[in-house]
A and B are shown apart, each in its own frame.
Chain A
């Protein structure tokens, strides 16, 4: 291989950050190479944080699957393309639902699209997800879910029997959540242009006038609670696709969380914020909290509930369960002095029976999620770039 060329993208990245490198050289020149100087390491870390805090850019020429995975690539896409164009005070907090005020009434408004494959899986189907997902986005915003829309994109040739089955699930899920589907839309695309059936739902819910929730309100001393074992939905789907040839008795955790949320809020449990831990899992939510509130989130690994089968599959595939999606679990940040009340309220409901305190909010280092590992060490839990991928090394 004598012919040689450069990787243009890499050279460009180096040029773009040339100024950082010059500062870095200047900093390092003050110390001998290879020596350990905490203050010097700290300078480098500060510079990295500055680089991370820069305006996100989408460098790719095409959309990749990573842009839809809920991690760093999704965050860059949303901020650099959508937020940059649509920017307004209601959108800017990027919460699960926006707060819209009409004639003095505060409403929560949200939308979500569902493209799961396979459409049917142990524990539910795309219909359950489409209703529960939107109901949950409203519920965790502190709203009482009211009305939903449903938009269907169907592929030519899709079996009507399957559509009936999906719609029946949606009806049952809507009834269980106490909401109605009040408007809808249908489009059919040519064979091969969609994966059977895609669904979009949007929803509005009524917000309690006296309650302000939001992840930016998390403060040092608060407790971090999950409502049950993590990662069951994501792992069920990954295994159900069949490519990995792994068998496990796992079912999706998809469920409507409106009652659980109501129970929690009624208990005067000092709730500051709630999120449903979907794409990107619990780790992604906690990173959002750390960044929005400018706090550190400290998680105890051994306190995070994970079912044995989820753990087994995660170990086999080299995936961290903290990044695997749930569809019926919420993460809540509560006033530290009200931890017991919050936990008791969650546990009093069947969907929160296995709720657990997994960590707390601290003040430093701001913007980071730290994990006290089961082994007794400490590390960072960062946002993933894209989906967690099975790995062999």
Chain B
């Protein structure tokens, strides 16, 4: 319901400390960081941007943990597919996984 996009803080604007310049895939905009005064973001931090405000600081550790889980499942799946393919190798041509 609410479009939120991750962007990297590249600088805190010296003339107004509640504004930070944020980079989204090479595109830059000044974003209000007044909602993050409990834990102000620094250059290099990633934030979630919604209607010109940073709503939340992205937690790198949490992100990594979620990725590890997804990669774990992916690896298990690859292994299973491989096992499946090698068991069929004599009967048919290998399945093109990408189709």
A190 on the B face (CB < 8 A): no
B30-A312 in contact (CB<8A): no
Q: Is B1 touching A309 in the complex (CB atoms < 8 A)?
A: no
Separation of A27 and B90 alpha carbons in the complex (Å): 50
Interface residues of A in 242-258 (CB under 8 A from B): 244-249
Residues 355 to 393 of chain A near chain B (Cβ within 8 Å): 391-393
Choice from A308, A392, A393 contacting B25 with Cβ under 8 Å: A308
Q: Which residue of B lies closest to A245 (CB)?
A: B29
| A189 CB-CB contact with B under 8 Å | no
* B51 within 8 A of partner (CB): yes
Per-position contact with A for B13-41: 1 when CB-CB < 8 Å, else 0?
00000000000111111100000000000
Which of A248, A249, A308, A318 is the most central at the interface, judged by chain B CB atoms within 10 Å of its CB?
Answer: A248
A315 touches B29 (CB 8 A): no
Q: List residues of chain B with CB within 8 A of the CB of A308.
A: 25-26
A-B contact pairs, 27 of them (CB 8 A): A244-B29, A245-B30, A246-B28, A247-B27, A247-B28, A247-B29, A248-B26, A249-B26, A308-B25, A308-B26, A309-B25, A309-B27, A311-B25, A312-B26, A312-B27, A313-B27, A315-B24, A316-B5, A316-B7, A316-B24, A316-B49, A391-B3, A392-B2, A392-B50, A392-B51, A393-B1, A393-B2
* Closest chain A CB from B75 CB (angstroms): 18
CB <8 Å contact, A393 and B3: yes
Q: Once the chains are docked, how many angstroms separate the CA of A247 from the CA of B7?
A: 14
Residues of A within 8 A of B25 (CB): 308-309, 311-312, 315
A246 / chain B contacts, CB cutoff of 8 Å: 27-29
Partner of A392, one of B3, B7, B27: B3
Q: How many A-B residue pairs have CB under 8 A?
A: 43
Nearest B residue to A318 via CB reads B3
Give the distance to chain A from B33, nearest Cβ to Cβ, in Å. 15
A244 to B27, CA, bound (A): 12
Chain A nearest CB, measured from B13 CB (Å): 12
| Given known A-B contacts A316-B49, A392-B50, A392-B51, A248 and B27 have beta carbons under 8 A apart | yes
Contact pattern, B 39-57, Cβ under 8 Å of A = 1, otherwise 0: 0000000000111000000
CB closest residue in chain B, given A312: B25
Distance in angstroms between the alpha carbons of A248 and B26 in the assembled complex:
7
Question: Closest chain A residue to B29 by CB distance?
Answer: A246
In the bound assembly, the distance between CA atoms of A115 and B2 in angstroms comes to: 33
Please, how many angstroms separate the alpha-carbon atoms of A245 and B52 in the complex? 10
Contact call A312/B24, Cβ cutoff below 8 A? yes
Tell me, in angstroms, the Cα distance from A245 to B51 when the chains sit together: 12
> Which 7 residue pairs across A and B have the least CB separation, nearest first?
A312-B25, A312-B27, A309-B26, A248-B27, A312-B24, A247-B28, A313-B27
Kindly list chain B residues whose C-beta atoms are within 8 Å of the C-beta of A248.
26-28
Q: In the assembly, what is the distance between CA of A309 and CA of B28, in Å?
A: 9
Q: In the complex, A315 Cα to B23 Cα: how many Å?
A: 12
Residues in A with CB closer than 8 Å to B28 are 246-248
Say how far B30's CB is from chain A's closest CB, in angstroms. 7
| Shortest Cβ gap from A265 to chain B (Å) | 34
Complex: A316 Cα to B24 Cα, angstroms: 8
Chain B residue nearest to A249 in the complex (CB): B26
Complex CA–CA separation, A313 to B30 (angstroms): 14
Q: Which of chain B's residues has its CB closest to A235's CB?
A: B27
A76 to chain B, nearest CB (A): 29
CA distance A322 to B24 in the complex (A): 19
Interface flags for A200-222 (1: CB within 8 Å of B; 0: not) read 00000000000000000000000
Q: Which residues of B contact A245 (CB under 8 A)?
A: 29-30
Docked pose: A245 CA to B27 CA in angstroms: 11
Q: How far is the CA of A392 from the CA of B1 in the complex (A)?
A: 8
Name 11 extra pairs, CB < 8 A, besides A246-B29, A316-B27: A246-B28, A247-B29, A248-B27, A249-B26, A308-B25, A312-B25, A313-B27, A316-B29, A316-B49, A392-B3, A392-B51
